[in-house]
Amino acid sequence: MSTHENLKGKVAIVTGGGGVLCSAMAKELARQGVSVVVLSRRLEKAESVAADIKADGGEAHAFACDVLNKDDLIATEKAVNAIYPAYHILINGAGGNHPEAATTSEYFSPEQAENASDRSFFDLSEEGLQHVFNLNFMGTVWTTQVFAERMIEAEAPAIINISSMSAYSPMTKVMAYSAAKSSINNFTEWLAVHLSKQGIRVNAIAPGFFLTEQNRGLLLNEDGSYTERSAKIISQTPAERFGEPEDLLGPLLWLADPQMSKFVTGVTVPVDGGFQAYSGV
């Protein structure tokens, strides 16, 4: 992958940095000469990513941070600010789902009410729904409130939110996750306008179907073969495969590099192997 000299010396904050996708983003930014602050709810995961970056000659710092806790975000930002006076790139990658916010079946049937092991729309818990919405949407809003204020004085700052293809067409079973990711797209457009006079560009990346720690058990059988849900996904993806973390790095660098995308703000870029474009026939 080409070198982006415009990114050298910049500082990036990456939430969800211990995960499969955002850890790849953090490592690529570091390879480009960016100083990376890796934030993860579990410190050991953030430290592992930071250690890999340092082993490759990059600069990184790891912090445990819960994006659901604004006080924790504020305390973390103060610690980061003691190291770096300003930030140039913010990647809002923290997200996920909750079992009590997902139905067990794609379609509702009255028989589900008689089966205690089935969870229909009417059984989704308030706790589960609120957790998913807060983690995927409010966590992005709160993180941006806390970190983006110091980006105003930075040169050519960029915020990159992580959306999902479920924002465009909601996936079955995961109503709350799809709704929250749809909110990310709307928030990206709103914030791009709101911060435009301060020179902060705000965009998003919408990954299609990628294998992560959270969904691997749903998409692969124990022997590594596709589950029924995976088979449906692949059949609707013209590229006929799941995405790889490396597939996100080109769009990431394009959106982060102010010379490559200086007139691009308020957009969400699908990276989905053609999933959105395919009608199924």
Active site residues: 177
SS3 278: coil
**Burial class of residue 234, CB neighbours in 10 A (0-12, 13-18, 19+):** middle
Angle 20-31/249-256 helices, nearest 10 degrees? 50
Helix (H) or strand (E) segment spanning residue 60: strand 60-64
Contacts of residue 257, defined as CB under 8 A and 6 or more positions apart, other chains included, come to: 4, 6, 7
Q: Distance (Å, rounded) from C-alpha 275 to C-alpha 255?
A: 21
Q: Distance (Å, rounded) from C-alpha 58 to C-alpha 14?
A: 15
- Residues, the chain, total? 281
What region, left, alpha or beta, does residue 155 occupy, with left being phi > 0 and alpha being psi -120 to 50 degrees? beta
Within 10 A of 186 (CB to CB), how many other CB atoms are there? 13
Residue 273 CB-half CA count within 13 A: 17
H helical segments located in 171-248: 175-194, 216-219, 228-235
Q: Distance (Å, rounded) from C-alpha 164 to C-alpha 270?
A: 8
